[in-house]
Chains A and B, each alone.
Chain A
């Protein structure tokens, strides 16, 4: 994509077409795009994420044909999809579990980036675009969850939209705007439906930019060492396409397991009860993929403070490229950082568990500790470790690292998936 394509269509019609709209040479460049040959399976999640987006959009469009965004009908229209629409149950379960699969994939994708230093120069913009996608995904999933208009849909919407009232001066105005009235009601449902339909296409747009930004420097790789020569790479097609396809199918097996055998495992029972503004559920809990952030929100006793901390937990990701002071990208060669990386992962899990439990007793203390550690990791540990750590010697090139690991049989230790 950088510079002019070397591709010349042979067919005269194709030639004529390509000259006016160079789609053919662009697709060609995509297929031959040189990609590091030592990528492990963690690099297949980009493709898996694109597949997830397509699945959500396709199933979503079909759902929208049968769904009614009205407080009196939304719940029953979803049940109508489940019962009376041909294969409606399948479409709905795919869409519902697809959201969870999407987040599983995106979290692995992000952690991959953090482990191998993929956010470091020259890929900062690529990383920032990724964080924007994450934010859009969260907004989309949150609004989607409101649509079936169950108890948790309603009360989740109420709790989360209420948070905006903590913003100084304009807070109340923002909340009224979100609600389209003075509480969560029909106008809220309507605008959420409209936005829920819009945002996936915004995501698709940012994904296009994300991939564009990827094609300038090319992919990072497990060694973090930049590509030095053609020896280090393989053409994207067929090498990477086939590998990605295999990984995507394995991912679909997990996906299908949930859709066909545990379709409601990841949801909340209480959402099978229609929204009731007069009956507050005992525990209001978001979907699993929001739990760590929910824990951070509740760790701060002050409303505005909680909102800032929760927002900050994502905003801090934008600054990660500049918080990291290490010269070396990959954690493979960073013995100290590598340990802190895993501590970070464990800490996020703990936050998730805290988020799922009522904010009382020990949970409060654990939540506050874990929240503090979350920020400590980004704001203190990452800058400091980068400065004091003595990285292991780097291989001269990707090819060399591959050769060095050959006698031992398998390629150098790859983190389990």
Chain B
């Protein structure tokens, strides 16, 4: 299946090249395909990778990007990074969460609990914009489902995407690793405070300075924290954040499929037997 997908991709890419500039104009570049562990009908998340990805999110991205749909408790739930209960409590407790009002009618701060939502870096959109040169750092909870890394011509797109998906996690990886010097003719009109990134959907100029650096985080499992590795890890983490029931869905799906196929066979036999004496 992987090879088939690769073949289709190759075919599509070559036609895309032939189809030429009309198609490429105004579109972000195609993200590099990554063999994530959670792809395919049996794919599951790699726990260690999700934990590393969370670390990157926490230490880097969460300075600017919220993830409003996540709660700290999710980090310990099955099918996710599966931190231990104690770890989840410790992570939550690192944050000061506003609560209240108390008996005196005052709001107060207290350490976070697993049931709290991920604390957002800014209290409102204007504050977020003001801190980021006018650009809004979007919420990351659903980013891998809301963006597409792969763009193919219309006549192959539905077929390829049946295998490869939309490339949302690949998009995140591509944006994080895809900074480059602008082409000669674009360099002249570079907007103030923006970087060139050919993979950014609303690009090519992006208001996010390259957030990752070589060994910018220190992985406790000994994995080398290259920029590429961090980008992959955080992309995987965000894929889980967007689809936390992925593992439950696929494993239930397998059971349902087997059940339905056996049932269909049995029903077919019943139907055959019943209709055997009827000429039809």
Instruction: Show the binding face of A for B, using Cβ within 8 Å.
Output: 37-38, 76, 79, 82-83, 89-90, 93, 234, 238-239, 242-243, 245-246, 249-250, 252-253, 256-257, 259-265, 269-270, 272-273, 353, 356-357, 399, 402-403, 406, 411
Contact between B279 and A37, CB atoms less than 8 A apart: yes
Instruction: Show the binding face of B for A, using Cβ within 8 Å.
Output: 41, 68-69, 74, 138, 141-142, 145-148, 154, 161-162, 166, 168, 242, 244-245, 248-250, 252-254, 256-257, 260-261, 263-264, 267-268, 270-271, 274-275, 278-280
Contact between B245 and A249, CB atoms less than 8 A apart: no
Q: Which of A76, A257, A264, A269 has the most CB of B within 10 A?
A: A269
Contact between B154 and A353, CB atoms less than 8 A apart: yes
Q: Which of B146, B147, B148 has the most CB of A within 10 A?
A: B146
25 contacts between A and B (CB under 8 A): A37-B279, A38-B280, A83-B69, A89-B248, A234-B278, A239-B274, A239-B275, A242-B267, A242-B270, A246-B267, A246-B271, A250-B264, A256-B253, A260-B252, A260-B257, A261-B253, A263-B249, A264-B145, A272-B142, A272-B242, A273-B146, A356-B154, A402-B279, A403-B279, A411-B280
CB neighbours of A243 from chain B (8 A): 271, 275
CB neighbours of A250 from chain B (8 A): 264
Q: Per a CB cutoff under 8 Å, which of A37, A79, A82, A252 touches B280?
A: A37
CB neighbours of B248 from chain A (8 A): 89
Given contacts A243-B275, A272-B142, A406-B279, 20 further A-B contacts (CB under 8 A): A79-B141, A82-B245, A90-B252, A93-B249, A234-B280, A243-B271, A246-B271, A249-B263, A249-B267, A256-B260, A257-B257, A260-B256, A263-B249, A269-B145, A269-B146, A269-B148, A272-B242, A356-B154, A402-B279, A402-B280
Q: Per a CB cutoff under 8 Å, which of B41, B147, B161, B274 touches A261?
A: B41
CB neighbours of A79 from chain B (8 A): 69, 141-142
CB neighbours of B279 from chain A (8 A): 37, 399, 402-403, 406
CB neighbours of B168 from chain A (8 A): 269
Bound Cα distance A378, B166 (Å): 38
CB neighbours of B141 from chain A (8 A): 79
Closest to A270 in B: B146
CB neighbours of A256 from chain B (8 A): 253, 256-257, 260
A265 to chain B, nearest CB (A): 7
A172 to chain B, nearest CB (A): 33
CB neighbours of A249 from chain B (8 A): 260, 263-264, 267
B240 to chain A, nearest CB (A): 12
Q: Per a CB cutoff under 8 Å, which of B162, B264, B271, B278 touches A253?
A: B264
CB neighbours of A260 from chain B (8 A): 249-250, 252-254, 256-257
Contact between A272 and B146, CB atoms less than 8 A apart: yes
**Given known contacts A249-B264, A273-B142, A403-B279, is B257 in contact with A357 (CB within 8 Å)?**
no
CB neighbours of A93 from chain B (8 A): 249
Q: Which of A37, A38, A252, A261 has the most CB of B within 10 A?
A: A261
**Given known contacts A256-B260, A265-B162, A269-B147, is B278 in contact with A89 (CB within 8 Å)?**
no
A138 to chain B, nearest CB (A): 22
For the complex of A and B, the 10 pairs showing the least CB-CB separation, nearest first, are: A260-B253, A272-B146, A246-B267, A272-B145, A272-B142, A89-B245, A249-B264, A37-B280, A273-B146, A246-B271
Contact between B166 and A269, CB atoms less than 8 A apart: yes
CB neighbours of A263 from chain B (8 A): 249
Closest to A282 in B: B26
Closest to A88 in B: B245
Contact between B278 and A37, CB atoms less than 8 A apart: yes
CB neighbours of A245 from chain B (8 A): 267
Q: Which of A76, A234, A246, A265 has the most CB of B within 10 A?
A: A246
Q: Per a CB cutoff under 8 Å, which of A76, A242, A261 touches B271?
A: A242
Contact between B162 and A259, CB atoms less than 8 A apart: no
Closest to A403 in B: B279
Bound Cα distance A262, B249 (Å): 11
CB neighbours of B274 from chain A (8 A): 238-239, 242
B204 to chain A, nearest CB (A): 15
A247 to chain B, nearest CB (A): 9
CB neighbours of B270 from chain A (8 A): 242, 246
Contact between A83 and B256, CB atoms less than 8 A apart: no
Closest to B270 in A: A242
Bound Cα distance A255, B263 (Å): 15
Q: Which of B68, B249, B257, B280 has the most CB of A within 10 A?
A: B280
A272 to chain B, nearest CB (A): 4
Q: Which of B68, B260, B263 has the most CB of A within 10 A?
A: B260
Closest to A263 in B: B249
